[in-house]
Amino acid sequence: MTDYPEAARPLAELKPKYEFFVGIDSDGCAFDTMEVKHKECFCPNIVKHWDLASVSKYVREAAEFVNLYSKMRGINRWPALLAVFDLLAERPEVIARGVKIPEFAAVRAFSKQKVHPLSNDGLKAYMAEHPDPDLETAWAWTTGVNATIEEIVHGVPPFPYVRESLQLLQDKADMVVVSATPTEALTREWEEHDIAKYVRVIAGQELGKKDEHLTLAAQGKYAPDHILMIGDAPGDMRAARANNALFYPINPGHEDKSWKRFYKEAAYKFLAGEYAGDYEKMLIDEFLALLPEVPPWKR
């Protein structure tokens, strides 16, 4: 990959120190921040900026399903926002209350374009080229989300066994944070808990998508079975597979247990070349069974 954002240069220029590479997602994977961010920061800002107080119950159900409790878990905030509104638009209870959900044509166009990253900086650049009132509202929402996160989300430590796992691998693997969260927020959280020192790069949404992070940082630099992505969402697994890399799942709702298993068992299998195959498949099957495709109100 030769075409990448200037901000991603640290990934592209990363030179291996060790034979192994480990990418680690942050929200919901290394840190127990998914629930608080989506329930207290993302969702309330949706209700606020699109005047949806009359159907706030259904906004919350849709937003939590998309972002926390489904196979969409962990996707970028823009396609996630559109998925929430698509669920709301077809929900009988919302229709019965006479609430019309906008089509969000301008936001959909931004979400589908490939020129600008799906980040706040990307939206700002896109808005300069495609001014639209809907994008102004979207800008107020996304900056409002970030401000609420900065105000509320403090003192949330890494899951148990994250620090121990990083210490275990610090002289055996090059580690990089691979996330769709804004880099500023990632850096603040990793530094707040004194674990930034264990990773070579902290890569957020400004540096591209997760699969692009892995491509730039690892592809062609390490043997495929020496590249591992640790994540809590199917998108993390897809990013790994797009790079022929291995995947270790952090199971939603069972994060402590997952990290303990990694520290006690899976990390050693990875370093010994015994991870791929039946062991990885067993872990992934267990992971995917926890994340449905159909929301509970449709079952």
- Quote the distance between the C-alpha of residue 284 and its chain's center: 18
Model pLDDT, residue 182: 85
pLDDT in tens, 112-137: 998 998 889 999 999 999 999 999 99
Q: 165 and 101, same structural domain?
A: no
pTM of the model: 0.85
- Domain membership of residue 224 (yes or no) is yes
- Domain membership of residue 214 (yes or no) is yes
Q: 65 and 27, same structural domain?
A: no
CB 36 within 8 Å of CB 153? yes
Model pLDDT, residue 2: 54
Average pLDDT of the residues in 22-36 = 95
CB 8 within 8 Å of CB 216? yes
Model pLDDT, residue 181: 86
pLDDT in tens, 165-201: 999 999 999 999 999 888 998 999 999 999 999 999 9
Model pLDDT, residue 107: 96
Buried b (16+ CB within 10 A) or exposed e, 263-276: beebbeebbeeebe
CB 81 within 8 Å of CB 107? yes
**Is the pLDDT at 1 greater than 70, yes or no?**
no
Angstrom distance (rounded) from CA 172 to CA 169? 5
- Domain membership of residue 297 (yes or no) is no
User: In percent, how much of the chain has pLDDT > 70?
Assistant: 99
| H-type alpha helices, 14-119 | 34-37, 43-49, 56-67, 77-90, 92-96, 105-112
Q: 133 and 44, same structural domain?
A: yes
Q: 182 and 136, same structural domain?
A: no
Q: Which domain holds residue 115?
A: 34-152
Q: Provide the β-strand partners of residue 246.
A: 228
Number of Cβ within 10 Å of residue 53's Cβ equals: 10
pLDDT in tens, 37-50: 999 999 999 999 99
Last residue of a domain, one of 98, 122, 152: 152
Last residue of a domain, one of 152, 175, 209: 152
Last residue of a domain, one of 152, 183, 209: 152
Give 210: exposed, middle or buried? Use CB within 10 Å, 0-12, 13-18, 19+. buried
- With tokens 């698509």, the residue in question is 86
Distances (CA, A) of 147 to 7, 45, 142, 269: 22, 10, 9, 41
